[in-house]
C-alpha cells in the first residue's frame, strides 16, 4: 500500500543537522506513527513520504521553510528576572511556557545576565536544514475514527468525544 491521504504510517528515522550531528532518532524505540495528510509531521518530510511504501528507505533534506520555519528575531526578547516567580535558579537551556497575546508559547532561556533573562520562542530547530534517514516500517489505511479525529489512536487509547 502506498502512502496517501489518511494512511497511517510508521517509520524509523535518524535526524541530523548539516554538520552530521544526530538531533533525534527512533533507534531503540518504537517507530514514529502518524496520520498522513493531517499535518502531524513537518510538511517537507510528509511531502517526501507521499506515494512511498512499506520497506522503502530514503534520505530527505528539509529546508527551514518546510520544517520548523526560519528563525524569527521577534520571538527573542529580554525579560526581567522577576517574571520567573518561584524559580530559584534560571539557566540557559531551561524551558518555560509563556503567556502571549497569541496564547501559550514555549520559550527557551538563552542567556542570563544579572536581572535580565533572554528567552527565545522559536522552535529549537527553526532556521536549520534537517536531514532525515527514513525507513518505512508499515503503511495501513486509517480507521474511520482516526481519519475523523485527525490523529492515530494508540493501543488501548480511550476515545475522546
Q: Which domain holds residue 106?
A: 73-120
Task: Give the position of cell 491521504.
Answer: 5
Element (DSSP H or E) covering residue 90: none
Residue 80 in grid coordinates: 526581567
Assign residue 101 the CATH number of its domain.
Answer: 2.40.10.330
CA distance 96 to 150: 28
51 and 90 housed in the same domain:
no
- Cβ-based neighbour number of residue 139 at 10 Å: 21
Residue 152: the pLDDT is 93
Contact 3, 36 (CB under 8 A): yes
Number of domains in the chain: 2
pTM comes to 0.81
63 and 104 housed in the same domain:
no
3-state secondary structure of 133: strand
116 and 139 housed in the same domain:
no
28 and 93 housed in the same domain:
no
61 and 139 housed in the same domain:
yes
Q: What is the pLDDT of residues 117-161, one digit of tens each?
A: 999 999 999 999 999 999 999 999 999 999 999 999 875 444 443
Residue spans of beta strands (DSSP E) within 114-155: 116-120, 130-141
Residue 102 in grid coordinates: 497569541
Amino acid at each position: 500500500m502506498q502512502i496517501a491521504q489518511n494512511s497511517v504510517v510508521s517509520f524509523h528515522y535518524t535526524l541530523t543537522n548539516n554538520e552530521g550531528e544526530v538531533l533525534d532518532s527512533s533507534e531503540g524505540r518504537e517507530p514514529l506513527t502518524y496520520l498522513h495528510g493531517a499535518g502531524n509531521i513537518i510538511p517537507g518530510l510528509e511531502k517526501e513520504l507521499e506515494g512511498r511504501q512499506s520497506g522503502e528507505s530514503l534520505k530527505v533534506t528539509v529546508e527551514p521553510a518546510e520544517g520548523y520555519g526560519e528563525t524569527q528575531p521577534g520571538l527573542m526578547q529580554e525579560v526581567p528576572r522577576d517574571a520567573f516567580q518561584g524559580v530559584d535558579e534560571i539557566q540557559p537551556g531551561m524551558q518555560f511556557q509563556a503567556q502571549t497575546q497569541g496564547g501559550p508559547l514555549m520559550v527557551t532561556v538563552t542567556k542570563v545576565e544579572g536581572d535580565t533573562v533572554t528567552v527565545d520562542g522559536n522552535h529549537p530547530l527553526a532556521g536549520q536544514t534537517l536531514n532525515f534517514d527514513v525507513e518505512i516500517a508499515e503503511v495501513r489505511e486509517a480507521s474511520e475514527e482516526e481519519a475523523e479525529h485527525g490523529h492515530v489512536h494508540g493501543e488501548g487509547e480511550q476515545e475522546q468525544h
